[in-house]
């Protein structure tokens, strides 16, 4: 019993330290100066900017406020083009993530429309031929911004905006790459480099030609928690949110890992003490 109590205290202390460490991590480091492109191969993506996130490291955890702000950036800006097909509204209530209340999750879901399916008459469209729609519920997934791939390409000059559900894990350097790309616009291309028609120059994107126009600027959103919405803050928050989308169980995985490590340390101590007690008279 005493061992279990001490183990519980140790785990609790470890989690407290982790939370304090996460709160002390700085947000984003602004680096908007013109990078030296003469030292890299034209079209080769620049290394990511030096940016810190609360979830980095063995004891890192998600910053709930940052995840919530990142969701606001996604909803008000990114969702106009990018889908998030693998995320359900109910996921927004997850502890260790957005941690919205059930009432907030329900309200967020109701602000979206999803296909309603056949009505009592077996109809799936209205009198104008449009699909029947209903307010979403927490069990629904985020609806895509376009009906299909053709519609998405037509609205984006032939480019297909990627789904953001796993984007932070699919990209090299993950959230740091997202942050670097989003804050990497408005830079001057090196002499001799041609920006393709309909593209935008961004040296943090492979090929340096990106179809996405600059998505964020200072004041792109008005944060509900009063945080100043600078470009760096918005980019940092949406990168945090997208990392949570790609790995929502990160906090739980690290907590379990910490508990297992503490258990193994305690077990090793008990085994060593038992060894000394059993064999002490044999020497």
Alpha-carbon distance of 110 to 113, in angstroms, equals 7
Q: What are the distances in angstroms from CA 56 to CA 21, 66, 77, 101?
A: 11, 14, 26, 26
Q: Which CATH number fits domain 27-86+160-255: 1.10.760.10, 1.10.10.10, 3.40.720.10, 3.40.710.10?
A: 1.10.760.10
* DSSP element (H, E) containing 230: none
> Is the confidence at residue 129, as pLDDT, over 70?
no
Question: Taking every pair of C-alpha atoms in the chain, what is the biggest distance, in angstroms?
Answer: 94
In this predicted structure, the answer to whether residue 5 has a pLDDT above a threshold of 60 is no
Mean of pLDDT values over 9-34: 44
Average pLDDT of the residues in 95-118: 92
Note the pLDDT tens digit of each residue in 156-172.
999 999 999 999 999 99
The secondary structure element, H or E, covering residue 210 is strand 209-210
Asked whether residue 76 carries a pLDDT value surpassing 50, the answer given is: yes
- Is pLDDT larger for residue 264 or for residue 67? 67
pTM of the model: 0.79
- State yes or no: pLDDT of 71 exceeds 90: yes
**What residue segments make up the domains of the chain, in order of their start?**
27-86+160-255, 88-141
- Among 191, 164, 180, smallest CA distance to 51 is for 180
Mean pLDDT of 264-279: 82
């Amino acid at each position: 019993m005493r061992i279990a109590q001490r183990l519980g205290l140790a785990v609790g202390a470890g989690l407290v330290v982790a939370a304090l460490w996460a709160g002390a991590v700085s947000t984003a480091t602004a680096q908007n100066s013109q990078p030296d492109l003469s030292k890299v191969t034209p079209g080769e993506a620049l290394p990511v900017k030096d940016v810190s996130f609360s979830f980095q490291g063995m004891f890192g955890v998600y910053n709930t406020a940052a995840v919530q702000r990142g969701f606001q950036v996604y909803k008000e800006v990114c969702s106009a083009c990018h889908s998030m097909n693998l995320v359900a509204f109910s996921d927004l209530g997850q502890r260790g993530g957005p941690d919205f209340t059930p009432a907030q999750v329900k309200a967020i879901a109701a602000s979206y429309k999803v296909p309603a399916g056949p009505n009592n008459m077996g109809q799936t469209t209205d009198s104008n031929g449009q699909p029947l729609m209903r307010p979403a519920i927490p069990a629904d997934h985020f609806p895509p911004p376009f009906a299909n791939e053709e519609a998405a390409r037509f609205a984006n000059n032939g480019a297909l905006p990627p789904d953001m559900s796993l984007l932070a894990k699919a990209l090299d350097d993950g959230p740091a790459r997202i942050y670097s790309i989003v804050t990497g616009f408005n830079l001057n291309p090196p002499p001799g480099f041609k920006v393709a028609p309909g593209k935008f120059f961004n040296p943090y994107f492979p090929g340096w030609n990106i179809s996405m126009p600059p998505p964020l600027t200072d004041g792109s959103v008005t944060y509900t928690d009063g945080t100043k919405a600078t470009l760096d803050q918005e980019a940092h928050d949406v990168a945090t949110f997208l990392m949570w989308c790609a790995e929502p169980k990160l906090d739980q995985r690290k907590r379990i890992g910490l508990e297992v490590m503490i258990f193994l340390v305690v077990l090793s101590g008990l085994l060593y003490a038992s060894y000394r007690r059993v064999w002490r008279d044999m020497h």
